[in-house]
């Protein structure tokens, strides 16, 4: 007893820790800031911020970069030259290219000659590459890089500048200033974007390390760096280059050896006259990005992009998250421009705004605001793409042309997904499947998190809990449902596991700085990471997914790639050391933000090659990713990671998804219900109502939470949630059409106000309401607790809007109040649109394939309406051969006729597959046309005349019953055409008068 007494205080301390721990695991928790760097703790960010401070506070500042006028050549849309950097006595040569593309996009690239030529020495016997990373474009850029032969230097340029006119009708101009080097991009003579206007351009050139004679410094320094402060106590303190972080940096007990020394690239990009900038996904703050240099309501840290597994991330923060898209759009009235900063290394962006007061000499209306941005990347090329708009669609279109369009997903992928960490057995999965049916709740996909594997060994099934995966998937398939199983990039380091054996023997894993296999810690414990930058690794990965190798997988199995930042539990900032080596000896620091993309790229191709039989008629892969970069949209869907069952997370999900949408990766969703913690029933219900409007709609929950499948909520919640789910299913034709628009034009699926109304300055900051595709559906889900009365919705224009459910009329512009009881979703229909629906509730979206359509024609102020429908088999690539239906429905007030026209490009419908598809859809009809805001003149009319294209008698007009209903109170009148019976894939007309 005596002995125990002596240590009892320690025990009680431990118990106390346990208690603290328990309290920490409750939902009210926040991110651990100490695990992630601030700019101050990231050497290159600190150096460049200091550089900016010096430059901006020095009135005589002159950027030391000069374009050698004699070196400038413009040939077939490609301008080349040498920029020199004056550093001490040296003039360092930085090769410059400015490319002018057919699309109207311009690209400015700066490299460093010494590194390119390999004339540098690496420290620590590093085997890393010497060049600046120049392969980001191999992953991110897939098109739009045809050089414009029309680009030409213009005469009459001021001395010391080169002017190039390019773009559509040569309306764009790049004015390249020689000294200091800088570029102004103009549209119709007006400067839209300035590069290096503030002189913050900084390319950290290679230099040898000169060891200063400070004895024994290393040791002491190491110790000091264990703490917070990574800077050296330099005595001088005046130097801009703080060498303390040039050669080595430590954080959280990990030391980065930095064999190439300092190599950051930075540049200021200004948007004169633009008050709003958007983009830089993914962050939790507002859609319209905030300033980052402090001040009231502003951030003090720059926006950071360094893909990380951020546990319990916080709201309204510029901290990095799981993915990054270094794409920014600036918005002013009737003008949108954009820049893509193509760099996959750790990147920080500072944003400030400056206002110029009204210039009495100028013609303008008072002062303008300029948004200045300062982009800082740790390594790689300086490589930016400039898009000059002027419409939002032009910018996102140009961006999507470069980085690729959203994959056209299978139909099931945009229906409802039911996920949980974890469904514990195959019987559990089957039970949940049955319970959905029993409760008449539609769903398409059920998910398995890591626990289905045997000991976290991917491509295996736990024989105890998932003894019969094929039987389970067979049951799912009976109602055309799918299974998504998780496969992560960390491979368990354990004997008798063929995957790791092959990974090692084929040498396909990421290496450490000494060029040996890198070992880290993740879910399975000790693990290795597949290096998907390696083509051989991708080939091998493909092989792993074959049905005959991944036993237990079936044609309705799809894949979830999690932890692909990559998440390494014991690594710096929960990821890999930056000096790790990838394929072709590129350092991890160079390509970190691309890592997640390479994994889903490998998985995507693997899903196309699961069996030789399937290869001849492949179905579209579905891959969910957590980490992403510009270009990931081509390969799958994304979710916003591990959120919490708390109202602020529901609220934040909307700006986050809007941001993903305008960043070219619209197939995004947030975990419905919140991952960590238990949502109240009200929160769960509201979350389903909001989730029904997420492009990617998945309910998910942490392993420690209570079960929360919709049927468990109890009444009235289950009924309300079911209505929300059925609403999603009814509107699937509209959603699928919106996905098609993303697929062919890069348009967001949920669209913020500024995107739809770029003329309405008042709506530029709005990020809590949105439009669904081009349908005119305007939603503003309730995201606040206890809000049961009404929701204020902003109407940007003078068009008429109607309640989706009650046809209540609203008129803008301005705020209107929409009823928002718990069972109500604030959802309006903008006048002038036609919305396609399928009203019959089915068990899954696959079972709706043959159901008839309902068309909702919402007449606007002018009495017209227009809408589109895109439809295909929802699973194969036959649409690429024309096997689809693409219709435009339009109603004209002048003619009182609703017509269906073919939007398919001529010639696409001729293929065999196209014909087969149309034939298969022959019997699928329009069963109902609802005209909202129907003219009062129709009162008393009982018939419409329907005619349909096609052979023989059926082409003749016939009468169909119509009924007109007066709206009461503020409600619009409506009319219902009873079963016009026209085929959805054919041309037809319905004459109302």
Partner 1 sequence: MRSVGALLCLEYAATVYAASGEASRPRGVGPECTLKPNANNVEAHIRVLACSRAPFSPLLTNSPPVAKFYKDASTFSCISNPSIILPLSRLNDDYCDCPDGSDEPGTSACSHLSSLSPHTSADHSRTGSNISLALPGFYCKNKGHIPTYVPFTNVNDGICDYTLCCDGSEEWDHVGGVKCEDRCQQIGKEFRKLDEARQKSLGSAGRKRKELVLEAGRLRREVEDRLQSLGAEIEGSEMKVKQLEAELVEVERREKGKVGRGPVQKVGKMGVLVGLAKQRSEELRETLARVREERDASRGRVQELEGVLMTFKEEYNPNFNDEGVKRAVRAWEEYAARDKGPEPDAAHDRDLDAITQSDKDNGLDWAEYESEDGEESEAVVLHSFETFLPLSLRTWLDTNLRTLRTTLIDSGILADTSSTSSSSTSESKAVQAAHSRLDAARQDLANHHKSLASHQEDLASNMGPEDIFRALKGQCIATDSGEYTYEFCFLDKTTQKPKKGGGHTNMGNFVRMETVLVDEDVDEKGRGLGKGDRIAMRFEGGQHCWNGPSRSTLVVLGCAEVGEVWRIMEEEKCVYRMEVGTPAVCDLAGVGGGGGGGRGKEGREGRDEL
The residues annotated with a catalytic role in the active site are 562, 565, 642
Q: Which of 50, 608, 976, 991 binds partner 1 (CB under 8 A)?
A: 976
Please choose, out of 64-72, 123-131, 145-153, 835-843, the segment that lies near partner 1 by the rule CB under 8 A.
Answer: 835-843
Minimum distance of partner 1 from residue 284's CB (angstroms): 17
Contact track, partner 1, 873-912, x by CB under 8 A = ----------------------------------------
Residues 551-610 binding partner 1 (CB under 8 A) are: 567, 569-570, 574
Question: Is position 468 an interface residue for partner 1 (rule: CB under 8 A)?
Answer: no
Pick the binder of partner 1 from 123, 298, 745, 842 (CB under 8 A): 842
Q: What's the min distance (Å) between Cβ of 210 and partner 1? A: 38
In which element (H, E) is residue 915 found?
A: helix 912-920
CB-nearer residue toward partner 1: 259 or 710: 710
Distance CA 535, CA 149 (A): 34
By the rule CB under 8 A, 428 interacts with partner 1 = yes
Q: Which two tokens stand for residue 983?
A: 């085929």
With respect to partner 1, which residue has the nearer C-beta, 807 or 810?
807
582 contacts 534 by C-beta, under 8 angstroms: yes
Give 986-989's long-range contacts (Cβ < 8 A, gap of 24+): 986/900, 986/948, 986/949, 986/950, 987/899, 987/900, 987/901, 987/902, 987/948, 987/949, 988/899, 988/900, 988/946, 988/947, 988/948, 988/949, 989/897, 989/898, 989/899, 989/900, 989/946, 989/947
Q: Which of 852, 892, 935, 950 binds partner 1 (CB under 8 A)?
A: 852
- For partner 1, which residue of 219, 236, 438, 786 counts as binding (CB under 8 A)? 438
Q: Rule CB under 8 A: is residue 25 a binding residue for partner 1?
A: yes
Q: Contact with partner 1 (CB under 8 A): which of 848, 858, 885, 914?
A: 848
DSSP 101: B
- Least distance (Å) from partner 1 to the CB of residue 311? 5
Give, as ranges, the residues between 761 and 820 that touch partner 1 (CB under 8 A): 804-807
Degrees to nearest 5, angle at CA 261 with 255 and 263? 115
Q: Is-contact 343 326, C-beta < 8 A?
A: yes
How many Cβ atoms from other residues are within 10 Å of residue 981's Cβ?
16
Site string for partner 1, 486-525 (x = CB under 8 A): -----------------------------------xxx--
User: Taking the alpha carbons of 321, 323, 325, 331 in that order, is the dihedral positive or negative?
Assistant: negative
Q: Which is nearer to partner 1, 272 or 781 (CB)?
A: 781
Q: Least separation, in Å, of the C-beta of 310 and partner 1?
A: 9
Joined together, the tokens standing for residue 878 give: 């036959």
Specify the length of the chain in residues. 993
Q: How far is the CB of 317 from partner 1 (least distance, A)?
A: 16
- Pick the closer one to partner 1 by CB: 678 or 753: 678
* Parallel/antiparallel/unpaired status of strands 827-830 and 303-305: unpaired
Q: How far is the CB of 444 from partner 1 (least distance, A)?
A: 14
Q: Which of residues 946-975 bind partner 1 (CB under 8 A)?
A: 953-954, 963, 965, 967, 971, 974
Q: Does 919 bind partner 1 (CB under 8 A)?
A: no
Q: Does 427 bind partner 1 (CB under 8 A)?
A: yes
The minimum distance between CB 704 and partner 1, in angstroms, equals: 6
Tokens of 693: 């409007």
The residue among 716 and 798 lying less far from partner 1, judged by its C-beta, is 716
Nearer CB in complex with partner 1: 454/811: 454
- Of 850, 854, 859, 860, the C-alpha closest to 836 is 854
DSSP assignment of 717-778 equals HHHHHHHHHHHHHHTHHHHHHHHHHHHHH---SEE-HHHH-TT-GGGTT--S-EEETTTTEE
Binding partner 1 by CB under 8 A: which of 726, 780, 830, 989? Answer: 726
- In angstroms, the CA 183 to CA 803 distance is 49
CB of 847 to partner 1, least distance (A): 4
Binding to partner 1, residues 34-93 (CB under 8 A) = 34-35
Cβ 478 to partner 1 shortest distance, Å: 7
Choose the binding region for partner 1 from 29-37, 61-69, 603-611, 617-625 (rule: CB under 8 A). 29-37
- 18 part of the interface to partner 1, by CB under 8 A: yes
Which residue's CB is nearer to partner 1, number 401 or number 709? 709
Smallest distance from the beta carbon of 676 to partner 1, in angstroms? Answer: 10
Q: Which helix (H) or strand (E) holds 881?
A: none
Closest CB to partner 1 among residues 166, 917: 917
Pairwise CA distance, residues 415 & 838, whole Å: 13
Binding-residue pattern over the window 682 to 721 for partner 1, x denoting contact by CB under 8 A: ----------------------xxxx-----------x--
Chosen residue from 311, 543, 547, 877 binding partner 1 by CB under 8 A: 311
Contact assessment for residue 989 and residue 898, using Cβ atoms and an 8 Å cutoff:
yes
Spatial contact of 820 and 826, defined as CB atoms under 8 Å apart: yes
From the CB of residue 472, how many other CB atoms can be counted at a distance below 10 Å? Answer: 26
Note the helical H segments in 445-526. Answer: 469-478, 498-505
Can you tell me the distance from the alpha carbon of 234 to that of 247, in angstroms, rounded to the nearest whole number? 15
Q: How far is the C-alpha of 945 from the C-alpha of 183, rounded, in Å?
A: 61
The distance of closest approach from Cβ of residue 98 to partner 1 in the complex, given in angstroms and rounded to an integer, is 44
Is there binding between residue 20 and partner 1 (CB under 8 A)?
A: yes
DSSP string, 525-556: EEEEEB-TTSHHHHHHHHHHTSTTTSTT--TT
What number of CA atoms fall less than 13 Å from residue 744's CA on the CB side?
A: 12
DSSP H or E stretch at residue 598: helix 595-607
Report the alpha-carbon distance of residue 443 to residue 437 in Å, rounded.
Answer: 9
Q: Which of 727, 732, 778, 914 binds partner 1 (CB under 8 A)?
A: 727
Q: C-beta of 920: minimal distance to partner 1 in Å?
A: 7
Residues in the interface with partner 1 (CB under 8 A) total 88
Give the nearer residue to partner 1 in terms of CB position, either 546 or 978.
978
CA 673/CA 644 separation, integer angstroms: 8
614 near partner 1, judged by CB under 8 A: no
Query: Cβ closer to partner 1: 842 or 861?
Result: 842
Q: Which is nearer to partner 1, 105 or 854 (CB)?
A: 854
Q: Does 543 bind partner 1 (CB under 8 A)?
A: no
Which strands make up the sheet holding 800-803, listed edge to edge?
A: 750-751, 770-772, 777-779, 827-830, 800-803, 809-811
Name which position in 93, 177, 178, 843 contacts partner 1 (CB under 8 A): 843
**For partner 1, the closer CB: 128 or 885:** 885
Q: How many CB atoms lie within 10 A of CB 786?
A: 9
CB of 791 to partner 1, least distance (A): 17
Residues in contact with partner 1, shown as a per-residue x/- string from 227 to 266 under the rule CB under 8 A? ----------------------------------------
Chain residues 406-425 in contact with partner 1, contact rule CB under 8 A: 424-425
Binding residue for partner 1, selected from 218, 434, 549, 617, defined by CB under 8 A: 434
By CB under 8 A, name the one of 168, 850, 912, 942 that touches partner 1. Answer: 850
Q: Which of residues 104-163 bind partner 1 (CB under 8 A)?
A: none
| Residue 876, helix vs strand vs coil | strand
Shorter beta-carbon distance to partner 1: residue 659 or 685: 685
């Amino acid at each position: 007893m005596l002995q125990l007494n002596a240590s009892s205080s320690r025990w009680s301390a431990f118990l106390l820790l346990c208690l603290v721990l328990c309290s920490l695991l409750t939902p009210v928790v926040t991110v651990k800031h100490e695990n992630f760097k601030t700019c101050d703790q990231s050497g290159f960010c600190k150096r460049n911020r200091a550089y900016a401070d010096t430059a901006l506070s020095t009135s005589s500042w002159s950027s030391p970069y000069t374009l050698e006028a004699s070196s400038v050549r413009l040939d077939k849309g490609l301008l080349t030259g040498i920029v020199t950097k004056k550093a001490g006595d040296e003039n360092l040569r930085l090769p410059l290219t400015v490319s002018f593309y057919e699309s109207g996009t311009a690209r400015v690239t700066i490299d460093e000659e010494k590194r390119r030529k390999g004339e540098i020495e690496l420290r620590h016997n590093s085997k890393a590459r010497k060049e600046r990373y120049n392969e980001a474009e191999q992953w991110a850029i897939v098109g739009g890089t045809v050089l414009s032969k029309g680009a030409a230097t213009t005469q009459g340029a001021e001395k010391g500048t080169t002017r190039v006119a390019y773009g559509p009708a040569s309306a764009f101009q790049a004015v390249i200033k020689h000294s200091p080097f800088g570029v102004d991009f103009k549209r119709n003579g007006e400067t839209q974007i300035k590069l290096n206007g503030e002189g913050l351009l900084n390319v950290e050139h290679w230099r040898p390390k000169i060891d200063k004679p400070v004895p024994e410094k290393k040791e002491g320094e190491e110790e000091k760096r264990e703490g917070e402060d990574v800077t050296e106590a330099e005595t001088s303190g005046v130097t801009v280059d703080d060498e303390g972080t040039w050669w080595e940096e430590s954080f959280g007990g990990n030391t980065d050896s930095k064999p190439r020394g300092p190599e950051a690239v930075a540049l200021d990009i200004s948007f004169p006259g633009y008050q709003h900038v958007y983009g830089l996904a993914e962050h939790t703050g507002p859609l319209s990005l905030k300033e980052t240099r402090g001040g009231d309501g502003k951030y003090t840290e720059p926006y950071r992009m360094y893909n990380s597994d951020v546990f319990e991330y916080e709201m309204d923060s510029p901290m990095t998250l799981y993915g990054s898209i270094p794409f920014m759009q600036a918005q002013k009235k009737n003008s949108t421009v954009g820049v893509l900063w193509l760099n996959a290394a750790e990147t920080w962006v500072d944003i400030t705004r400056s206002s110029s007061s009204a210039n009495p000499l100028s013609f303008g209306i008072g002062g303008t605001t300029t948004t200045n941005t300062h982009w800082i990347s740790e390594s790689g090329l300086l490589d930016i793409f400039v898009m000059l708009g002027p419409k939002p669609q032009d910018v996102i279109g140009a961006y999507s042309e470069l980085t690729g369009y959203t994959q056209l997903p299978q139909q099931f992928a945009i229906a409802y997904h039911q996920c949980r960490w974890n469904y514990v057995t195959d019987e559990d999965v089957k039970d949940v499947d049955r319970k959905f049916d029993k409760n008449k709740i539609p769903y398409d996909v059920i998910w398995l998190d890591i626990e289905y594997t045997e000991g976290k060994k991917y491509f295996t099934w736990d024989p105890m809990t998932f003894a019969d995966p094929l039987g389970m998937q067979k049951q799912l398939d009976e109602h055309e449902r799918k299974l998504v199983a998780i496969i992560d990039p960390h491979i368990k380091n354990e004997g008798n596991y063929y995957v790791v054996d092959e990974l090692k023997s084929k040498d396909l894993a990421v290496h450490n700085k000494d060029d040996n296999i890198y070992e880290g810690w993740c879910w399975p414990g000790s693990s290795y990471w597949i290096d998907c930058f390696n083509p051989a690794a991708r080939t091998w990965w493909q092989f792993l997914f074959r049905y005959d190798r991944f036993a237990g997988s079936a044609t309705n199995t799809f894949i979830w790639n999690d932890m692909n930042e990559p998440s390494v539990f014991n690594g710096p900032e929960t990821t890999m050391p930056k000096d790790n080596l990838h394929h072709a000896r590129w350092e991890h620091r160079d390509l970190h933000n691309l890592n997640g993309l390479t994994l889903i790229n490998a998985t995507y191709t693997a899903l196309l090659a699961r069996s030789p039989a399937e290869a001849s008629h492949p179905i579209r892969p579905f891959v969910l990713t957590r980490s992403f970069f510009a270009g990931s949209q081509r390969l799958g869907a994304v979710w916003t990671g591990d959120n919490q069952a708390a109202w602020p997370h529901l609220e934040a999900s909307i700006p986050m998804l809007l941001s993903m949408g305008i960043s070219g990766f619209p197939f995004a969703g947030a975990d419905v219900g919140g991952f960590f913690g238990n949502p109240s029933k009200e929160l769960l219900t509201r979350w389903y109502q909001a989730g029904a409007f997420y492009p990617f709609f998945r309910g998910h929950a942490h392993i420690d939470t209570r079960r929360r499948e919709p049927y468990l909520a109890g009444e009235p919640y289950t009924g309300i949630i079911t209505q929300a789910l059925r609403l999603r299913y009814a509107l699937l034709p509209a959603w699928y059409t919106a996905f098609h628009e993303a697929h062919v034009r890069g348009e967001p699926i949920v669209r913020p106000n500024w995107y739809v109304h770029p003329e309405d300055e008042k709506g530029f900051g709005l990020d809590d309401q949105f439009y669904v595709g081009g349908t005119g559906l305007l939603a503003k889900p309730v995201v606040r607790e206890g809000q049961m009365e009404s929701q204020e919705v902003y109407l940007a224009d003078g068009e008429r809007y109607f309640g989706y459910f009650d046809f209540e009329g609203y008129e803008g512009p301005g705020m209107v109040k929409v009823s928002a009881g718990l069972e109500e979703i604030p959802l309006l229909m903008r006048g002038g649109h036609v919305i396609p629906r399928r009203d019959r509730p089915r068990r899954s979206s696959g079972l709706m394939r043959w159901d008839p359509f309902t068309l909702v024609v919402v007449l606007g102020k002018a009495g017209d309406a227009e809408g589109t429908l895109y439809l295909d088999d929802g699973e194969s690539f036959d649409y690429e051969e024309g096997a689809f239906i693409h219709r435009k429905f339009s109603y004209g007030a002048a003619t009182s006729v609703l017509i269906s026209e073919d939007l398919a490009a001529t010639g696409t419908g001729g293929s065999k597959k196209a014909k087969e598809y149309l034939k298969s859809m022959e019997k699928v009809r329009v069963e109902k046309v609802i005209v909202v805001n129907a003219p009062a003149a129709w009162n008393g009319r009982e018939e419409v005349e329907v005619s349909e294209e096609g052979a023989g008698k059926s082409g003749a007009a016939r009468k169909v019953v119509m009924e007109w209903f007066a709206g009461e109170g503020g409600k619009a009148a409506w009319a219902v055409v009873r079963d016009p019976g026209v085929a959805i894939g054919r041309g037809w007309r319905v004459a109302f008068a």
